[in-house]
A and B are shown apart, each in its own frame.
Chain A
Amino acid sequence: MKTWLFPIVQTAVVVILLMSYYAASWFGEQYILRAEPFDPFDPFYGEYVLLQYPDLKSNSITDDSSVYFTLKEADDGYAVIDRIENEPFFGAIEGSIYGGSVTAPQLEQFYVEQGQGPLLESARDLQVTIDVSSWGTIRPINLQERSE
């Protein structure tokens, strides 16, 4: 009977993984980020779009290092940086800063349906919808063309 423990524990791992992910939606806030594709390519893992965020800029921290930040919704409905620090604080998203632009590992790329990649890359103006949990994890929900 002990052998059944293997698939059971492995299932539990997957369930915890999914729960941690859905938790960002259950106990978090939703933001919409203005996004632009850059240096797109199509590696082994499937089709995805690499993204950068014109609104996520920092003037206070400029050296290329790890940063911790939170988001807030600006007047135009798109998210901007609320607070940014060099040291971790509760609820912060862990990210990095390069040349003044802020990003996080979960935000850098977005898997899309096969065939959608080139379309989204040619459309320069994109928007990403994300859920951010109160403890700082991100769940990317959607990537689409921006209508302004």
Chain B
Amino acid sequence: MNTDQKLRQWQEAGLMDSETAERILAFEKRQPTPRKLPLLLIVGLIFFSLAVFSFIAANWQAIPDLAKVLLMLGLMWLFYSIAHFSQKKAVGHPLLFRVIGLAMFGATLLTAAQTFHFPLANSLLPWAMFLASLAHYFYWRNLIYSVIAFLFGGAVLISFLPDIGWTEWGIFVIITAAWFYFSKSFAPVAFSWILLFASGFMLWGLVDYDSSLWPIWTLFALVLLLLIVPENKQRTIRPLYLIAAGMLLVVYLAVRGQTFISIIDESHMAEAIALAFAGIGIFALSFFKFRSITWVAVPGAIGLLLYEETAIGLAVVAELAGLAYLILAQRQNEPLGLGFVYFIIVQFVIYIIYAWERLDMSLFFLIGALLLFLLSAMAWWINRRKEGAKL
């Protein structure tokens, strides 16, 4: 029913006078009518593009090499143009068209690589997409571009393997660090931080010295990043440091306790001692400058603790760190969620390491323990809700 009819009905029912009805009508007439594409036109367009695409696909082999690449390039231009006009006229979603345009750029490079027999090991495609999406991000500051940049940044790192050079690695680290430094919102900061952390793993391929402690050194190096970022950004990325430190503790504990891979020997003693001293340094630095991430220093002990074959030392440190974190966070009224998750994971890893051989017997106790844990978590939750605390 349109507005005209409705107004007449209301007028007849004595709900409004004719003057108000006329004013409403005059107002409604001034409103711009929403422009809608007719349904048939949309269906027709979909079928038409399907026909065009299947025609191209069927004749793909017959198209000359250069024309294939130009075709994809043309599609890229088409979508960037649509995005431009859709932004100008405020119709549709310019962001969506631009993302498709960016995807078409990737498709162009992929087509070029396939048509002209570039080697698959080539890192050109991920590099080009990484840089292009970063440029898009810095211009439009949209989350979606940072997601794309993150994915292709990861692809760049993977494409480094197995032959990796210092120059390419250095350029990657500088660009990612710049991305980290000039981003403000959480997602791009976290993404660039994760890429920086992951590029530390590449040291395994870069350096001839065979070390198993590169991830810890990387984490310590990343603490220095905090010196150049403003206070509010420090607060944003704090959980990343704690999560990484927690994960490192758990992973080294699991590897040392559960596998028989010898990851450390006498030749690494100097490095383990150096790491411990670096840990003390990080402890001192973070204690005075950014106290909330002091926990990051704990993995400094891992190097020395790895020498102990039963992994008891690592287990004790992981357990104590988890407990101490929970107690301190509780006293300072800070969120406990992350600490809890870490604590549970540590229990699981320790349980599996020391009860693996008697697992059939202990499964019963494990399920019992899980139930108990669940119940206590529920009780804790209800208790907090009753106190009116915000989580």
Which residues does A use to contact B, with CB under 8 Å? 2-4, 6-7, 9-11, 13-14, 17-18, 21, 45-46, 66, 105-106, 108-111, 113-114, 139-140
> 0/1 per residue, B69-99, Cβ < 8 Å to A?
1000100110010011000000000000010
Q: Which segment of B131-139, B239-247, B338-346 sits at the interface?
A: B131-139
- Check if B124 is an interface residue, CB within 8 A of chain A: yes
Closest to B163 in A: A66
User: Are B80 and A6 in touch, CB under 8 angstroms?
Assistant: yes
- Since A105-B119, A105-B121, A105-B122 are in contact, a sample of 12 more A-B pairs with Cβ atoms closer than 8 Å, ordered by chain A residue number, is A3-B84, A4-B80, A6-B80, A6-B98, A13-B128, A14-B109, A17-B109, A18-B69, A45-B114, A106-B118, A109-B119, A110-B117
User: Are B84 and A14 in touch, CB under 8 angstroms?
Assistant: no
Residue from B117, B121, B135 having most chain A Cβ neighbours under 10 A = B117
- Check if B101 is an interface residue, CB within 8 A of chain A: yes
User: Are A18 and B66 in touch, CB under 8 angstroms?
Assistant: yes
User: Are A45 and B120 in touch, CB under 8 angstroms?
Assistant: yes
Per CB-CB distance, the 4 closest pairs between chain A and chain B, nearest first, are: A105-B119, A7-B80, A140-B117, A10-B105
Alpha-carbon separation in the docked complex, A6 to B135 (Å): 8
Interchain residue pairs with CB less than 8 A apart (30):
A3-B139, A4-B84, A6-B80, A6-B135, A7-B76, A9-B135, A10-B76, A10-B105, A10-B108, A11-B76, A14-B105, A14-B108, A14-B109, A17-B109, A17-B112, A17-B124, A18-B116, A21-B116, A45-B114, A45-B120, A46-B114, A105-B119, A105-B122, A106-B117, A106-B118, A108-B119, A109-B120, A110-B117, A111-B115, A139-B117
- Mark out the residues of chain B between 317 and 343 whose CB falls within 8 Å of any chain A CB in the assembled complex: none
Known: A18-B112, A21-B116, A114-B61. Is A6-B136 also a contact (CB below 8 A)?
yes
In the bound complex, residues from chain B placing their C-beta under 8 Å from that of A109 are: 117, 119-120
Alpha-carbon separation in the docked complex, A105 to B225 (Å): 38
Alpha-carbon separation in the docked complex, A17 to B136 (Å): 21
User: Are B73 and A14 in touch, CB under 8 angstroms?
Assistant: yes
In the bound complex, residues from chain B placing their C-beta under 8 Å from that of A110 are: 117
In the complex, number of A-B residue pairs with CB atoms less than 8 Å apart: 67
In the bound complex, residues from chain B placing their C-beta under 8 Å from that of A2 are: 139
In the bound complex, residues from chain B placing their C-beta under 8 Å from that of A140 are: 117
Alpha-carbon separation in the docked complex, A45 to B121 (Å): 12
In the bound complex, residues from chain A placing their C-beta under 8 Å from that of B136 are: 6
User: Are A11 and B73 in touch, CB under 8 angstroms?
Assistant: yes
In the bound complex, residues from chain A placing their C-beta under 8 Å from that of B83 are: 3
Alpha-carbon separation in the docked complex, A18 to B116 (Å): 9
Q: Give, as a whole number of angstroms, the nearest-CB distance from A76 to chain B.
A: 25
In the bound complex, residues from chain B placing their C-beta under 8 Å from that of A66 are: 163
Q: Give, as a whole number of angstroms, the nearest-CB distance from A107 to chain B.
A: 9
Closest to B128 in A: A13
Closest to B116 in A: A21
